Structure 1
Amino acid sequence: MDIRSTLASRAYDALRTTQGHDDSSPASYFASAGAEFASTLKAGEEAAMSAMTGDYDPHALVTALAQSELAVETAVTIRNKVVEAYQEILRMAV
């Protein structure tokens, strides 16, 4: 699987192309990343449902499920990093 097809790299490319525009705020970045995550999961679910009825190409099914798995792993990694950063902030002496 090509790295360019991952959720993180697509979100990074989207952010890089919007540099200098008004919508390049962190909130819009996370909103677009969340929308991309949801669409990736939805495509994987649709592929799985179509495969159950026999209307889907097996190769496309494997690709869609691999992209969904990668998207979930990316989201979990980001969540873990945010939790680690929050815990580090809590450990700071005031």
Structure 2
Amino acid sequence: MDIRSLSATSGYAAARPATQADPDFVANSATERAKASFENFTNTLKTSEQVSVQAMTGNGDPHALVQALAQTELAVETAVTVRNKVVEAYQEILRMPV
């Protein structure tokens, strides 16, 4: 008898079926995830602003400034892309016949 087949069988039995909902996914509703994303976006902008003020007063690291600006640029581009997708979806809904 091959011991590897027994461990594979017990592994299959212990695995969660694909049809069951992921408890972590269900616990984090879409509203909570959106709220966390907005808070992350706001924190990124605040951090970038603080680093920029430090750099302008001469107390900041130029490397940290460039890194903060790159993070802010990425966050803003992501927000604009999401906004465009939402507007596009809204316009598509308006075009639907009733």
Question: So what's the TM-score if we normalise by structure 1?
Answer: 0.77
Residue of structure 2 aligned with 1:64, choices 68, 86, 92: 68
- Name the counterpart of 1:33: 37
Deviation sequence 1:64-90 (CA, Å, 0-9, x none): 011001100100100000000000000
Indicate the structure (1 or 2) with the bigger Cα radius of gyration.
Answer: 2
1:46-85 maps to which residues of 2 (within 5 A)? 46-85=50-89
Is 1:20 the counterpart of 2:19? The answer is: no
| 1:33-61 Cα deviation digits (max 9, x unpaired) | 00000000001100100001111110110
Give structure 2 stretches of 5+ with no counterpart: 1-21
Q: Aligned-pair distance for 1:24?
A: 1.0
Aligned amino acid, residue 77 of structure 2: E
5+ long unaligned stretches in structure 1: 1-18
3-state DSSP of counterpart to 1:62: helix
Give the root-mean-square deviation of aligned CA atoms.
1.1
4+ runs deviating over 4 angstroms? none
TM-score (norm 2): 0.74
Taking every aligned residue pair, what percent have the same amino acid on both sides? 58
